[in-house]
Amino acid sequence: MYPIDQAVKAGDSVRWMAAQPDVTSGNRFESVEQVREGLRDVSYLADEGIAGVAFLADRLGKPVLVEGPAGTGKTQLAKSVAEMNGARLIRLQCYEGLDESKALYEWNYKKQLLRIQADRHSDTWSEVHDDIFSDEFLLTRPLLEAISAEDPVVLLIDEVDRVEVETEALLLEILSDYQVSIPELGTIEATQIPLVFLTSNNTRELSEALKRRCLYLHVDYPTMEREKEIVLTKVPGVSEHLADQVARIVRSIRQLDLKKSPSVSETLDWARTLLLLNIDTIDEETAKETLHILLKYQTDIAKAAKELAVDE
């Protein structure tokens, strides 16, 4: 087991500290069961594995890398943990080409230029330099905002597998020490450790350096019984019979060789659609006519319509 990361800073107006401060970390959760019950209260049905990793992330001060197929509730886990704690969710949506100006910080160049013009009669450049490279001219992006927050936050780094390998280096300092180094200002350190969730759809292998800094959680498609429970929880008015049929049919569809299996959110959309159509029992014709809610490729729809057998 790696030692608990010693974390770092806080402040809506960013504080610059030469020495490492006392750090607030852990003890948001009393037990694994309390995490599970808290998530259930915000309509996220977590098993022991999910609740256990969230509990350990809090106590160890570690980020959580959540991997698994798209649409299995990885992003929703971070949102639900924020909701159950009354914390602010800060989200960094990753994409190809993401750089530090969008993820970390950038300088307000227009405002700096105006200040330079206003101070053009200043005696020395050093006075102007020190003035324009201050927190007044700093534009914080999600990573720096999470580090510098005084209020409780949950940082969601969504779809981290979409960024280039080189871009992962931006995350390493934050995930190791919960600090950010800015050449013009020094090191910004956090006084509280935010809960951090990174999600990945496994479109590429993440670096060992990134994985080493995180606790690991794999979230797969739910079991049939759990998916039925999710439908009953998330779709008001749905009957237990309909929820059971929906879960069974979706499970059988996922066993087909498809380009894209239906996600949990698409299962919920299908259940809501059937409810709006006043359907309480799914027959073969109803299933075929509404497959486009579950499946988003015509080849998948054709394959499911041909091979899917619905229990009468």
pLDDT at 130: 61
Specify whether the CB–CB gap between 279 and 236 falls below 8 A: no
Q: Closest Cα to residue 194, out of 140, 150, 159?
A: 150
Q: Which of 186, 167, 150, 16 is nearest to 101 (CA)?
A: 167
* pTM recorded for the entire structure: 0.81
Q: What is the pLDDT of residue 128?
A: 62
Query: Secondary structure of 161-212 in the HEC alphabet?
Result: HHCCHHHHHHHHHHHHHCEEEECCCEEEEEEECCEEEEEECCCCCCCHHHHH
Whole-number pLDDT of residue 127: 59
pLDDT of 21: 36
Nearest-angstrom CA–CA distance, 252 and 304: 9
pLDDT confidence bin for 26, thresholds 50/70/90: low
131-180 pLDDT, tens digit each: 677 777 888 899 999 998 989 999 999 999 999 888 888 888 888 888 88
Structure tokens at 36: 């599970």
The pLDDT value recorded for residue 125 is 55
What pLDDT does residue 209 have?
A: 92
Q: 147-178 burial, b if ≥16 CB within 10 A, otherwise e?
A: bbbeeebbbbbbbbbbbeeebbebbebbbebb
Amino acid at 27: N
Name the percent of the chain lying above pLDDT 90. 61
CA distance 284 to 61: 51
Angle between helices 224-234 and 240-254 (to 10 degrees): 130
Scanning the structure block, which residue is given the tokens 């996922």? Answer: 254
